Structure formats: structure tokens, C-alpha cells
């Protein structure tokens, strides 16, 4: 029913979720999630709060453990195996709502930490790469400051650069702009758009519909722990199939 | 002559005279209401009652010079002659008299190291090296036996150096155990969690004196027959085991203050548990709880006085030794005041330092 | 959704030894290792201990507690003689511990609240004096203070018949404080019962006042009626019982005092030391608790038109208490544990009794186990009670 083949038909799925279920105690947070993301695909996930969006993407790098179903990332299945989990996490970068920079390290140390300790990159090399990414997010001059000295928008751009330093194949964004003051949202979205145009596989949980229209290949709408609808943005915004989607869009787009 | 009135008219309106200056201060801070006025008068009465006699006793009527006890008996005031006679016994215990420059030097080295550690700019890895060197030098000076210094066995150690050894080694020694216990208590592994909780709550539930008794009477039973451990080491181990439980709770407080996002973002970058703990969580957690750690150290410093009960001659124990002299025992107040002042000096300084750090860490630009 | 589950592309098989990489298996392995280490260490120590005990021919076990103790205890709340058993000696010691601890907790609460509030006084002199008190007493070791109090009392107080007297009813000398008590009368037990009923009555009145306030909107007084219940009821019973006023006043006889009750100088020194020392910490706790309630709370409550007293009762106290209770509990526990320093000045508390027992019998493990078990029980009881109380307070607030 959904035709994804119009773009990059040749590339295979890099993330596959099949029949994924998760409960918090009695509460069923994820109900039979089936989702495939192809290499280079940009997916925007939206839905009301508490619909399971964050939980779903946090399952993809095993910050949350799913209890039923299967998740395969880049050919590696997520099972109770530390090697596998480490391998998956090396492939996936994640950006959080509250940045989660390490406040006791400078920006540069934040960026070089994982390459040096996980990828065993020599310091010089790691720092050069880090500076290059800081240039890309347009704040190389902040390299020696501490996170607490930066604005929210700058911190979030550092967080993106920090993830990129691990050269991930996939980037997850968990509401990257919702903790930001309005005037800082654009600078973060610009970086994300540039990243998308560079061909990165991305899954973004966000309510920035302008961003979704610009970059998304497909829109996923979640409600009550289920994927209600998945469609290309044009179709999604013009004639949503489900009543729930219509209601949500009418609330969010005014 | 310019009319005064014009100057007055030209100046800004002034607040009422009784709300500013000395008068205003007296009014608002001492006599703001009937009740406050009464309290102020009562306090002044109390001070007048206590302070002048105290000054007479401590200073004006006191015997300041070295003098035999008979002179003190004739005098009205304090007998500071006691200190001329006994200060070195109180400060250094039974350490050989001619060698007492060594504990003095050792203490000075230790105090310098502590003073260095108080400066936040020196919180660098090399500080650990400085401490290792300091403690080694301390032991070298106290024990001797090399470089022409005679060997002094540690049963002869006493006074302030002993108090400092017990508290500094107590802190340093309990730290690794405390970190392990704090991590264990936060662990999701049930057995490790239960063991940590059990240890912490057991130790925190019993008085230090019972742990010291245990060290004194039970450690010899625990060890294979033939292995002898001297009283000092036993007390030191007891203090370490005791302090670790309290320190663990302080550190746990720090671990709890670290938002979960820190752990998650470290994991999502691919760091494993030990990397996350040692590079992300612990550095932040420990930094956050330095003020309460200093407070733990203050408690520890005071608590070491309990070793006097298990017959070690720390500062308080040496004082009791000095006061056992029948010639001087009547001047116990002077002795206690002297030792109390030493404790007060250290504890007061450290608690002010901890408050200063707290304000620095809260508002500091460097996280 | 009706969509069929898509089939997954074959995943690469996991590499390396599977078991070690499974987080759950790894957790189990760690725990087994730690537990094994702990058990191994314990077994080693126990084995050494048994060997050593055998060598010194000490019989381990608690059977000794039924033997005759043979030492005297200078003051006890129960009848205890040297020919009584060790277990009775322990109980006498425990009761002495509880006596000094519970009285200390009551006094330290009063002192701490007064000093804590004084530190926040707008009166500069009062605040200064309070902070001098706090800084002086909390920065000097308790043991030193205890020694000093004890020496001061025993050296400075007059001995025997030269006792200081107050209203010729209270006498204080080197050996302790003599004070008058009412002569036992048949009505006293009924007064205690009346007091307990009064407490229940006051509680019931509080519930009733709340309900009436809620139902009718008329605020119903609580404080004075409660006082009436708690104090008035025993008073009424006392009057019914013929208002017996006989009081047993200590009398000076030729060599010693007779009549009244007596507490030893050791008890007074210990209580004084504990209260003065812990009071400094309680004062800081109280001060921090009051400061933790922001000024805005008072301003908001006043601007709603609440009177000062109500602002304190309904807005400030509930918030401050929530902050104060946990550290206050740990101060109570500290006081209880510090009462063990009694051994240093010869007040026969549990630790002193256990210490004597230990020296007499050589049963170190058992004596220390008794000390630890008792203190652990007291600590757990107090903290359990306080946790229950805190939960209640927290629930009431929400």
C-alpha cells in the first residue's frame, strides 16, 4: 500500500522493525510496530505526546529493550548480547531533547571522547575530525568552551556534531528542538536539513512540520503506541487516511 | 554667604534619620519591637555576666609564664603554665622527646598538601601524585630508621600527628570502598545491591565505638594465629570501614544528582558501562558532592578522638595522659580548652571552606 | 493494523561466545563472583576465629548470659544486683541507654528549635550569639566535651551536704541531682490512663474540627480544646481522686540525702554533652528548613488574606517540616548512637555493661554482637517510624 520505491529503489532496508511490542509494567507502550527504513531515507515521526514515538526510536539503539518482535539494524539483530548492542550503537548517532552534553568536558572533549575510547582513534586525528564537524555546524570558535557557556541552540548543534564524530550510518533525533527558545530553532533545523541533503539516514521525532515538508521522504504518525499511518509527506499532509491523523494535523497546523 | 536653605532645597530628599546610619542599624537590628528590645537587653546582660570574668580568668589573672603548679594555685586565673610543661606531650604524645621535630615536620608537610588541595586550580591528576609523595614522606619521617633517623615504632606515635594520620588515611582509604559501595547500591544486580545496602545500613546503624571495640577485640580473632596487628592499624581499619559507609551515601547522593540523559547519551555514543561510569558519571557526581565530602571529613576528624577510648594516644588521648599527672590535674580546664581550640581551628576552617566551595560550585562559571 | 508482518532480511549471526555477551548472563556471573568472594572471605575469617577461640579455650555462644554477672551497676531502672544474671545487666544497661537517649531527643528538639530560630532572628545580637553557640559546639569533638562536662561537674560541684539547693527541694552535688516526686497514690495510674484517653480525644477533636470546618465553613478552634483534653482530663481525674498533694522531697540527713529521686552526675554530664552538641546540629537543620521555604510563599499566603498564624500553620510549617524531618531523624539517630560514649565517663549504658562483660568473660564476639544488634534495632525502628511519618506527611500534602 505504501510505495517507497520511488526513491533509491536500489538500496535495501537499514532498519527493520517487525512486530515490536513493549510494555511498562501493565502499560502497553508499543503495539506491534512494523517499520522499515531504507538507507538514505528520511523519516519524520509525529504524534501526540505519550504516543510512543520516543520509546520507539530509543528501542532502535537499545536505550529501551523491546519485549516482543525483532529489530535489525544494518544487518545486526538487537538481542541480549552486549557485542551486538555495542555494534549497533556504533552505527547510530542520537540527538536528545535536552542535548545531554557532558558538562564537565569542553566542547572539543565532548566530541573526541567516543572516537578515542570506542573507535580507538588517535587524539590528533579525533580532534581534527571534531573541528571539521564543528565547522559544519558553524561553531568552531566554541571548541574550548564548556557546554554551560553556550546557548541552547549552540549546545544542540554541538550534540549533533558529537554524534557525527562517530561517523554513524543512521541518525536518530528525539525532539531536538522542543527544549529550545523559538529564535534558536532555525539554526538547529538548518544543520539538520544540511545533514539530510548530504544523504544521511535519519529518523526524527519532531513537530516541526515545515522541516518535515522540506526533507522527509516519509511521514509516520503514531498514536496510542501504534503506527497509525505511514505516507510520503505530500500525501500525508494533503489527504491523510486516518481520522486520528486528520485530527492531529488540524490541531498542530491550526 | 549662600543661603543654606537653597542647598537643602536643591538636594535630593533624604530618608528619615532613624532609618539609616548607626541609629538606623540599631533601630532595625536591635530595637525593632518591644520583644526585640527585651531580647537585646537580655543578651547584653548575658554578655556582661560572662565576658568580663572570662577575660579576667583567661588573660588578666592568668599565669602565662612557665611556673610550677604552686604558683598557679595562688593565682586567680587560668594556669597556662600547664602548656609550658605539657604542650609537647599533648601535641606529640609519647614520641621520643628529642625526635619531636620529625612529627612536627611531617605535620607541616601534610598541612601544606591539604592547603594545596584546597585550591580548585590544583584539582588536576598530578595532585594525586603530590598526595602519594606526601603520605610516603609522612611515613618516612614518623617511622624513621633511614637517613640517620632512629626508628620509632608506631605504638609511640601520638598527639596531633596521630589524629591527622587516622583522619587522612581514613578518608583516603575509605574512598575506593565508598565508591564501590555507592555504585553497588545503585546497581540493578540484586545480590550486589543487597550486599551494598546491607553493609551501609549495618555500619550506619551502629556507633563508631562498637566498630572500634570490634577492631580491638575481634580482629585478633579473625586473623590466623601468629599474625599480630598493632592497635593503631586495627583502629585505622575500623575507621576506614566505618567512614566508607557514610561516604558511600554521600557519593550515592552525587550519583543520583546526575540526570539520566548523561548515561543515555554516553551509551548512545557507544561507551560501555565502565567507560560511562568512570568518564561521565563519576567525575560529575564526585564534583557535585565535594562540599558534603569535606563535611564527612570534619566528622571523621572529630570522631578519631574516640580512639582515646581504645587506649591510643591521639590528641585527646595525649591530653588525658598529660592530665593524669597529679601535679597538674587540677588545671584540666586549661588543657581541654587548648585541645578544643586545636580541633575548633581545623573544623571551623574546613566547614567554612566547604561553604565557600558550595557557593563556588553553584554559581561557578566552570562546571 | 491489518498489514502483514514483513519478513526480515537474514541478520548476520552474532559473533563471539554468546553467553559472556548476554547482559543477563554477565550480571549473574558478576554476582556469583562477588558472592563467592564475600562468602569465601567470611569462611576464612570464621575459620580463623574458631581456631583462635579453640586455642584460647573460649567457649563461644550465648549461654554465658544466664550466669551470675557479679558486677554492680550504679544506677538502674529495674532491680539489679550483682548476683543477677548478665542478661539482666544488659537489660539494665539498655534501659539506661534509652533513658538518656529519649530524654536527650526531647531536650535537643526544644534547644535546636530555639537556637535555629534565634539564628534567623532579625535581632543582630540574638542571631550572633546563636551562631557563636552553633560554631563553638559543633566544631569540637563530643568526647572532649563530655570529658570536660564531667570533669567540671565532678571537680567544681560541692560534695555531700554542701549541695547546691533550689527551693530546698532540688539538690545538686558531686554525686548527682536529687529532686522531689509526688508520693505514689492509687490515682496515678488512672491519671496516666486519662492522659492517654485525652490524647485520643484530642486527635478525635482534630478530626471533628476539620470535618466541621469543611461542612459549615466555620473554622473550629483546635489548639485549646486539644490542650484541654490532654491536660484537663488527667487533672479532673486527679481532683476526683481527692487531689493528693503529698510530695516526697529529698531531705538532708546527717551524712546523706534521703527521699526524692536521684540521677547521677554521670547521667547529667552525658545528657548535657549530648544535648549541647547535637543541639548545634539540630539548630542548623531547623534553620535550613525554614530558609528552604521561599519568601514568595509567605507573600502569596499573606496576599490571600491569611493571618500570620495561619500562614505559619498552613503554608510554612508543612513545607519546612518536609525538609527538616529527614536530617532531624538522622540527628536523633546520631544522639542515640553517641550515647554510647557513656562508657568514657562511666555512665552504665549498654556499651559500658557490655564492655565490663567482655572484660570479665572474654566473650568479645557475643558482647559486641549484642551492642550492634541493639543499636541496629533502635536505628531501624527510629528510621522506620520516620519513614512512615514522612510518607504520611507527603501524602497529606498532595
pLDDT of C116-136, one tens digit each?
988 888 888 889 999 999 999
Residue C397 pLDDT class (50, 70, 90 cuts): very low
Specify the pLDDT at position B321: 87
In this predicted structure, the answer to whether residue B116 has a pLDDT above a threshold of 90 is no
Contacts of B271 in chain A (CB under 8 A): 113-114, 117-118
CB A166 within 8 A of CB A86: no
Specify the pLDDT at position C14: 54
Specify the pLDDT at position B22: 75
Percent of chain B at pLDDT exceeding 70: 93
* Total residue length of chain C: 398
Strands of the A76-77 sheet, one edge to the other: A27-38, A13-24, A68-73, A76-77
Contacts of C284 in chain B (CB under 8 A): none
Specify the pLDDT at position B362: 65
The answer to whether B284 contacts A104, with C-beta atoms less than 8 Å apart, is yes
In this predicted structure, the answer to whether residue C339 has a pLDDT above a threshold of 50 is yes
- The question of ipTM being above 0.95 is answered as no
Rounded-to-integer distance, Cα C82 and Cα C243, Å: 40
- Is residue A61 within 8 angstroms of chain B, CB to CB? yes
Contacts of A35 in chain C (CB under 8 A): none
Average the pLDDT over each of A207-211, B110-114, B136-140, C11-15 and give the range with the smallest value.
C11-15
Task: Dihedral sign for Cα B32, B37, B42, B45, please.
Answer: positive
Specify the pLDDT at position B26: 78
What is the mean pLDDT of the segment spanning B107-132? 83
How close, in Å, is residue C304 to chain B by CA atoms?
26
Specify the pLDDT at position B242: 95
Q: Nearest-CA neighbor of C288 among C321, C266, C310?
A: C321
In this predicted structure, the answer to whether residue C45 has a pLDDT above a threshold of 80 is yes
The answer to whether B224 contacts C51, with C-beta atoms less than 8 Å apart, is yes
Average the pLDDT over each of A121-125, C59-63, C135-139, C331-335 and give the range with the smallest value.
C59-63
The answer to whether B269 contacts A103, with C-beta atoms less than 8 Å apart, is no
The answer to whether B191 contacts C341, with C-beta atoms less than 8 Å apart, is no
More confident position, C169 or B348: B348
Contacts of A103 in chain B (CB under 8 A): 284, 367
Per-position DSSP letters for B173-223, written without gaps between them:
HHHHHHHHHHHHHH-S-HHHHHHHHHHHHHHHHS-HHHHHHIIIIIHHHHS
Per-position DSSP letters for C174-193, written without gaps between them:
TTEEEE-EEPP-THHHHHHH
In this predicted structure, the answer to whether residue A4 has a pLDDT above a threshold of 70 is no
Average the pLDDT over each of B254-263, C146-155, C209-218 and give the range with the smallest value.
C209-218
Task: Decide if domain B152-317+344-363 falls under CATH 2.40.50.100.
Answer: no
Taking only residues 314 to 373 of chain C, the set having a beta carbon closer than 8 angstroms to any beta carbon of chain B reads 337-338, 340-341, 343-344, 351, 355, 358, 364-365, 368, 371-372
Burial of C296 (0-12, 13-18, 19+ CB in 10 A): exposed
In this predicted structure, the answer to whether residue A3 has a pLDDT above a threshold of 50 is no
The answer to whether A32 contacts C16, with C-beta atoms less than 8 Å apart, is no
CATH class of C86-183+246-397: mainly alpha
Closest CB to B218 among C140, C152, C364: C364
What is the mean pLDDT of the segment spanning B10-29? 70
Q: Give the contacts of A118 (CB within 8 A, at least 6 positions apart).
A: A90, A166, B269, B270, B271, B275
Closest CB to A102 among B270, B280, B365: B280
Average the pLDDT over each of A225-229, B4-8, B356-360 and give the range with the smallest value.
B4-8
What is the mean pLDDT of the segment spanning B159-168? 90
- Is residue C7 within 8 angstroms of chain A, CB to CB? yes
- pLDDT tens, position by position, A166-212: 899 999 999 999 989 988 999 999 999 999 998 899 999 998 898 99
Q: Nearest-CA neighbor of B300 among B199, B211, B183?
A: B211
Taking only residues 139 to 168 of chain A, the set having a beta carbon closer than 8 angstroms to any beta carbon of chain B reads 146-149, 159, 162-163, 166
Residues of chain A contacting C, Cβ within 8 Å = 1, 12-13, 16, 18-19, 32, 34, 36, 70, 72, 75-77, 79-85, 226-227
Residue B12 pLDDT class (50, 70, 90 cuts): low
Contacts of A61 in chain B (CB under 8 A): 267-268
Contacts of C22 in chain A (CB under 8 A): 80-82
The answer to whether A163 contacts B287, with C-beta atoms less than 8 Å apart, is no
Specify the pLDDT at position A2: 40
Q: State the Cα torsion C81-C342-C378-C45 to the nearest 10°.
A: -90
- pLDDT tens, position by position, C313-331: 777 887 888 888 888 988 9
Contacts of C145 in chain B (CB under 8 A): 340
Rounded-to-integer distance, Cα A77 and Cα C147, Å: 70
Residue A11 pLDDT class (50, 70, 90 cuts): low
How close, in Å, is residue B314 to chain A by CA atoms?
40
Mean pLDDT of chain A: 88
Percent of chain B at pLDDT exceeding 90: 26
Contacts of A148 in chain B (CB under 8 A): 365, 367
Size of interface B-C (CB pairs under 8 A): 155
How close, in Å, is residue C212 to chain B by CA atoms?
36
Contacts of A12 in chain C (CB under 8 A): 9
Closest CB to A89 among B261, B267, B287: B267
Per-position DSSP letters for A190-233, written without gaps between them:
HHHHHHHHTT-EEEEE---HHHHHHH-SEEEEEETTEEEEEE-H
CB C233 within 8 A of CB C201: yes
Contacts of A172 in chain B (CB under 8 A): 268
CB A30 within 8 A of CB A71: no
Rounded-to-integer distance, Cα B45 and Cα B39, Å: 10
Rounded-to-integer distance, Cα B143 and Cα B151, Å: 6
In this predicted structure, the answer to whether residue B19 has a pLDDT above a threshold of 70 is no
How close, in Å, is residue B150 to chain C by CA atoms?
33
Specify the pLDDT at position B107: 87
The answer to whether C368 contacts B339, with C-beta atoms less than 8 Å apart, is no
What is the mean pLDDT of the segment spanning C383-395? 74
Specify the pLDDT at position C248: 77
Helix (H) or strand (E) holding C24: helix C23-55
In this predicted structure, the answer to whether residue B364 has a pLDDT above a threshold of 60 is no
Residue B11 pLDDT class (50, 70, 90 cuts): low
Rounded-to-integer distance, Cα A182 and Cα A153, Å: 10
Subunits touching B (CB < 8 Å, at least 3 pairs)?
A, C
What is the mean pLDDT of the segment spanning B129-158? 81
- Is residue C19 within 8 angstroms of chain B, CB to CB? no
Picking from C139, C331, C360 by the largest number of B CB atoms within 10 A of its own CB, the best residue to mutate is C139
Q: Where are the domains of chain A?
A: 13-253
More confident position, B365 or B103: B103
Q: State the Cα torsion A75-A79-A81-A86 to the nearest 10°.
A: 50
Average the pLDDT over each of B5-9, B24-28, C245-249 and give the range with the smallest value.
B5-9
> What DSSP state is assigned to residue A145?
S
Rounded-to-integer distance, Cα B73 and Cα B75, Å: 6
Contacts of A31 in chain C (CB under 8 A): none
Specify the pLDDT at position B91: 84
Taking only residues 281 to 310 of chain B, the set having a beta carbon closer than 8 angstroms to any beta carbon of chain C reads 298, 302-303, 305-306, 308-309
The answer to whether B262 contacts A98, with C-beta atoms less than 8 Å apart, is no
Contacts of A94 in chain B (CB under 8 A): 265, 268
Specify the pLDDT at position C110: 92
Percent of chain A at pLDDT exceeding 70: 95
The answer to whether B221 contacts C53, with C-beta atoms less than 8 Å apart, is yes
The answer to whether B29 contacts C49, with C-beta atoms less than 8 Å apart, is no
Alpha helices in chain B (DSSP H): 4-10, 21-29, 34-55, 69-74, 81-92, 101-118, 125-143, 159-186, 190-205, 208-213, 219-222, 231-257, 260-268, 273-275, 282-288, 290-303, 315-323, 332-363
Q: Give the contacts of C80 (CB within 8 A, at least 6 positions apart).
A: C73, C88, C89, C92
What is the mean pLDDT of the segment spanning C293-306? 75
Specify the pLDDT at position B73: 78
The answer to whether A146 contacts B367, with C-beta atoms less than 8 Å apart, is yes
Nearest CA in chain B to C38: B195
- pLDDT tens, position by position, C65-106: 788 777 878 887 888 888 888 888 899 999 999 999 999 999
Taking only residues 319 to 338 of chain B, the set having a beta carbon closer than 8 angstroms to any beta carbon of chain C reads 320, 330, 332-333, 336
The answer to whether B275 contacts A149, with C-beta atoms less than 8 Å apart, is no
In this predicted structure, the answer to whether residue A239 has a pLDDT above a threshold of 90 is no
Size of interface A-B (CB pairs under 8 A): 66
The answer to whether B259 contacts A147, with C-beta atoms less than 8 Å apart, is no
The answer to whether C372 contacts B340, with C-beta atoms less than 8 Å apart, is no
Q: Nearest-CA neighbor of A173 among A154, A194, A150, A189?
A: A189
The answer to whether C8 contacts A32, with C-beta atoms less than 8 Å apart, is no
Residues of chain B contacting A, Cβ within 8 Å = 259, 261-262, 264-272, 275, 279-280, 283-284, 287, 365-367
Picking from B269, B278, B285 by the largest number of A CB atoms within 10 A of its own CB, the best residue to mutate is B269
CATH number of A13-253: 3.40.50.300
The three three-digit cell numbers of residue B208, written as one number: 563508631
Count CA atoms closer than 13 A to B265's CA, side-chain side.
28
Amino acid at each position: 500500500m505504501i510505495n517507497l520505491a520511488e526513491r533509491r529503489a536500489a538500496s535495501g532496508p537499514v532498519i527493520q522493525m517487525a512486530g515490536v511490542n513493549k510494555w511498562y509494567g501493565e502499560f502497553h507502550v508499543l503495539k506491534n510496530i512494523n517499520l522499515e527504513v531504507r538507507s538514505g531515507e528520511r523519516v519524520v515521526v509525529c504524534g501526540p505526546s505519550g504516543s510512543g514515538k520516543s520509546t520507539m526510536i530509543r528501542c532502535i539503539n537499545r536505550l529501551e529493550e523491546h519485549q516482543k518482535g525483532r529489530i535489525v539494524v544494518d544487518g545486526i539483530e538487537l538481542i541480549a548480547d552486549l557485542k551486538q548492542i555495542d555494534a549497533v550503537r556504533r552505527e547510530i548517532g542520537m540527538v536528545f531533547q535536552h542535548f545531554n552534553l557532558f558538562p564537565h568536558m569542553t566542547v572539543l572533549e565532548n566530541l573526541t571522547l567516543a572516537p578515542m575510547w570506542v573507535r580507538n582513534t588517535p587524539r590528533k586525528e579525533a580532534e581534527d575530525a571534531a573541528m571539521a564537524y564543528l565547522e559544519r555546524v558553524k561553531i568552531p570558535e566554541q571548541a574550548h568552551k564548556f557546554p554551560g557557556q553556550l546557548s541552547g541552540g549552540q549546545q544542540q548543534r554541538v550534540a549533533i556534531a558529537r554524534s557525527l564524530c562517530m561517523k554513524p550510518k543512521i541518525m536518530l533525533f528525539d525532539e531536538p528542538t522542543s527544549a529550545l527558545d523559538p529564535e534558536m530553532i532555525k539554526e538547529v533545523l538548518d544543520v539538520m536539513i544540511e545533514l539530510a541533503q548530504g544523504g544521511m539516514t535519519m529518523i526524527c521525532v519532531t513537530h516541526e512540520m515545515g522541516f518535515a515538508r522540506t526533507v522527509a521522504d516519509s511521514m509516520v504518525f503514531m498514536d496510542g503506541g501504534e503506527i497509525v499511518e505511514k505516507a510520503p509527506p505530500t500525501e500525508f499532509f494533503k489527504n491523510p487516511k486516518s481520522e486520528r491523523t486528520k485530527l492531529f494535523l488540524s490541531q498542530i497546523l491550526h | 554667604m549662600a543661603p543654606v536653605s537653597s542647598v537643602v532645597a536643591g538636594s535630593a530628599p533624604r530618608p528619615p534619620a532613624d532609618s539609616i546610619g548607626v541609629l538606623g542599624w540599631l533601630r532595625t537590628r536591635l530595637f525593632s519591637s518591644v520583644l526585640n528590645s527585651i531580647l537585646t537587653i537580655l543578651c547584653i546582660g548575658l554578655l556582661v555576666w560572662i565576658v568580663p570574668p572570662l577575660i579576667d580568668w583567661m588573660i588578666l589573672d592568668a599565669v602565662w609564664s612557665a611556673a610550677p603548679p604552686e604558683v598557679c594555685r595562688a593565682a586567680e586565673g587560668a594556669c597556662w603554665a600547664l602548656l609550658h610543661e605539657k604542650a609537647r606531650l599533648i601535641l606529640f604524645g609519647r614520641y621520643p622527646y628529642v625526635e619531636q621535630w620529625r612529627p612536627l615536620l611531617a605535620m607541616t608537610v601534610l598541612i601544606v598538601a591539604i592547603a594545596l588541595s584546597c585550591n580548585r586550580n590544583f584539582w588536576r591528576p598530578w595532585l594525586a601524585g603530590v598526595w602519594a609523595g606526601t603520605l610516603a614522606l609522612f611515613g618516612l619521617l614518623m617511622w624513621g630508621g633511614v637517613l640517620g633517623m632512629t626508628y620509632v615504632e608506631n605504638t609511640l606515635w601520638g598527639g596531633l600527628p596521630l589524629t591527622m594520620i587516622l583522619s587522612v588515611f581514613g578518608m583516603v582509604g575509605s574512598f575506593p570502598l565508598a565508591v564501590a559501595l555507592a555504585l553497588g547500591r545503585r546497581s540493578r544486580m540484586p545480590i550486589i545491591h543487597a550486599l551494598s545496602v546491607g553493609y551501609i545500613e549495618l555500619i550506619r546503624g551502629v556507633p563508631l565505638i562498637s566498630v572500634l571495640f570490634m577492631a580491638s577485640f575481634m580482629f585478633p580473632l579473625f586473623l590466623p594465629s601468629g599474625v599480630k596487628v598493632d592497635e593503631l592499624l586495627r583502629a585505622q581499619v575500623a575507621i576506614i570501614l566505618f567512614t566508607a559507609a557514610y561516604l558511600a551515601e554521600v557519593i550515592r547522593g552525587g550519583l543520583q544528582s546526575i540526570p539520566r540523559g548523561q548515561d543515555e547519551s554516553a551509551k548512545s555514543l557507544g561507551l560501555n558501562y565502565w567507560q560511562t561510569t568512570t568518564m561521565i558519571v563519576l567525575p560529575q557526581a564526585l564534583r557535585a558532592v565535594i562540599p558534603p565530602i569535606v563535611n564527612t571529613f570534619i566528622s571523621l576528624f572529630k570522631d578519631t578522638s574516640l580512639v582515646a577510648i581504645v587506649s591510643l594516644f591521639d590528641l585527646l588521648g595525649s591530653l588525658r595522659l598529660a592530665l593524669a599527672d597529679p601535679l597538674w590535674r587540677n588545671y584540666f580546664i586549661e588543657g581541654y580548652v587548648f585541645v578544643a581550640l586545636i580541633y575548633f581551628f581545623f573544623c571551623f576552617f574546613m566547614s567554612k571552606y566547604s561553604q565557600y566551595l558550595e557557593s563556588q560550585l553553584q554559581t561557578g562559571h566552570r562546571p | 493494523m491489518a498489514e502483514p508482518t514483513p519478513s526480515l532480511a537474514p541478520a548476520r549471526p552474532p559473533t563471539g561466545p554468546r553467553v559472556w555477551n548476554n547482559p543477563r548472563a554477565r550480571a549473574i556471573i558478576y554476582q556469583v563472583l562477588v558472592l563467592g568472594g564475600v562468602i569465601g572471605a567470611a569462611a576464612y575469617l570464621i575459620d580463623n576465629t574458631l581456631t583462635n577461640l579453640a586455642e584460647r579455650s573460649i567457649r563461644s555462644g550465648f549461654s554465658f548470659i544466664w550466669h551470675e554477672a557479679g558486677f554492680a551497676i550504679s544506677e538502674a531502672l529495674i532491680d539489679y544486683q550483682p548476683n543477677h544474671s548478665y542478661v539482666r545487666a544488659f537489660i539494665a544497661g539498655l534501659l539506661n541507654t534509652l533513658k538518656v537517649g529519649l530524654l536527650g531527643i526531647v531536650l535537643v528538639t526544644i534547644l535546636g528549635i530555639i537556637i535555629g530560630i534565634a539564628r534567623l532572628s532579625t535581632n543582630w545580637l540574638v542571631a550572633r550569639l546563636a551562631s557563636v553557640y552553633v560554631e563553638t559546639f559543633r566544631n569540637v569533638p563530643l568526647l572532649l566535651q563530655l570529658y570536660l562536662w564531667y570533669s567540671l561537674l565532678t571537680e567544681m560541684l560541692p560534695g555531700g551536704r554542701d549541695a547546691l539547693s533550689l527551693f530546698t527541694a532540688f539538690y545538686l552535688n558531686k554525686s548527682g541531682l536529687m529532686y522531689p516526686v509526688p508520693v505514689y497514690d492509687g490515682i496515678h495510674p488512672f491519671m496516666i490512663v486519662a492522659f492517654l484517653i485525652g490524647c485520643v480525644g484530642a486527635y478525635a477533636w482534630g478530626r471533628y474540627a476539620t470535618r466541621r470546618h469543611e461542612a459549615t465553613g466555620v473554622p473550629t478552634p483546635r489548639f485549646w480544646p486539644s490542650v484541654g483534653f490532654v491536660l484537663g482530663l488527667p487533672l479532673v481525674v486527679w481532683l476526683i481522686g481527692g487531689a493528693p498533694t503529698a510530695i516526697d522531697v529529698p531531705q538532708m540527713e546527717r551524712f546523706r540525702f534521703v527521699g526524692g529521686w536521684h540521677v547521677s552526675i554521670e547521667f547529667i554530664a552525658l545528657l548535657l554533652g549530648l544535648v549541647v552538641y547535637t543541639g548545634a546540629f539540630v539548630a542548623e537543620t531547623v534553620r535550613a528548613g525554614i530558609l528552604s521555604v521561599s519568601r514568595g510563599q509567605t507573600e502569596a499566603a499573606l496576599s490571600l488574606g491569611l493571618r500570620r498564624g495561619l500562614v505559619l500553620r498552613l503554608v510554612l510549617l508543612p513545607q519546612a517540616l518536609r525538609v527538616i524531618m529527614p536530617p532531624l531523624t538522622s540527628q536523633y539517630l546520631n544522639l542515640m548512637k553517641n550515647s554510647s560514649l557513656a562508657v568514657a565517663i562511666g555512665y552504665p549504658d549498654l556499651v559500658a555493661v557490655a564492655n565490663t562483660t567482655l572484660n570479665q568473660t572474654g566473650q568479645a564476639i557475643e558482647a559486641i554482637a549484642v551492642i550492634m544488634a541493639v543499636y541496629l534495632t533502635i536505628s531501624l525502628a527510629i528510621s522506620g517510624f520516620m519513614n512512615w511519618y514522612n510518607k504520611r506527611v507527603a501524602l497529606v500534602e498532595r
